[in-house]
Amino acid sequence: MSSPSLQQALLQQPENKSKEELDQEKQAFDIYRKALTFNVVSKYDPKINQLIHLSSYCVVYKFDDEISDWEKLDYQGPLIIYSRNFIKSKHAIELQAKKKRIAKIRSLQTKNKSNDKSNDNNNDSSSSELPPNEFINDANLVSITEVLKNDAFYEFGIIVLNRSKVENFSLGLIPNQNLIPDTLNLKYLKRQKDIDGFDDSNEKFIIEKNGELVIIKALDGNTYGLWLFDETDREYIYKLLCYIIGA
């Protein structure tokens, strides 16, 4: 009687594996790929915190204002979008302290109201409450000049691991709601944004999609186009970048 070992070995070929086994192998491979990618990116940006998305192939273009056309740059390879360990600006630290003070005051006001049930003039007492302030939050408010001088403020990053040469393409991102113009204080900024026709396009990131390009207008004034072959991946990256900057 022949040994069944050869037959058993043939049954273990990939095409004969169960769906569960194939799914487990795929999951293990994805974990390995993400870990490897994380380690590679960390060599170029030690502040990487978490991988968000990985595309297998991307070509970078830059818009040339002089000829009003796209110039293909020498950057092509896997594209990675990731979050970063960023530093908080002095504005964010000040606002966090202010938020704590206001929360404490409101807590005392609420406590006083609940204790003073005999007071019928609730409308008068409510007028002394602090008004809500949309700027008092945990946002990392930072001026554009600070961001351009120190990339530690960027909360997210994009990198194309270049297959053409040693140098990679990289770009930092920060939500537009966290950016404040250098010459404007918060009250003036809010007032200007309430005015119809106020143009702040030069003071924020802009994400667009045109054909096979996902377009990023950066804070330094340069406009880049990310060419991605897969339409589904292109659409996902466009929506992801819009979400990151709060568009």
| Sign, CA torsion 38/90/242/226 | negative
The larger pLDDT score, comparing residue 66 to residue 129, is at 66
The burial class, CB within 10 Å (0-12 / 13-18 / 19+), for 40 is middle
More confident residue, 127 or 169: 169
| Claim: this prediction has a pTM higher than 0.75 | no
What band does 224 get if pLDDT is binned at 50, 70 and 90? very high
Give dist(CA 120, CA 229) in Å, integer: 68
Q: Is the pLDDT of residue 127 over 80?
A: no
pLDDT score recorded for residue 97: 61
From 84-98, 203-217, 224-238, the region with the lowest mean pLDDT? 84-98
pLDDT at position 78: 95
Comparison of pLDDT for 14 and 145, the residue scoring more: 145
Determine the Cα–Cα distance for residues 37 and 52; give it in Å rounded to an integer.
11
Question: What average pLDDT does range 213-231 have in this prediction?
Answer: 94
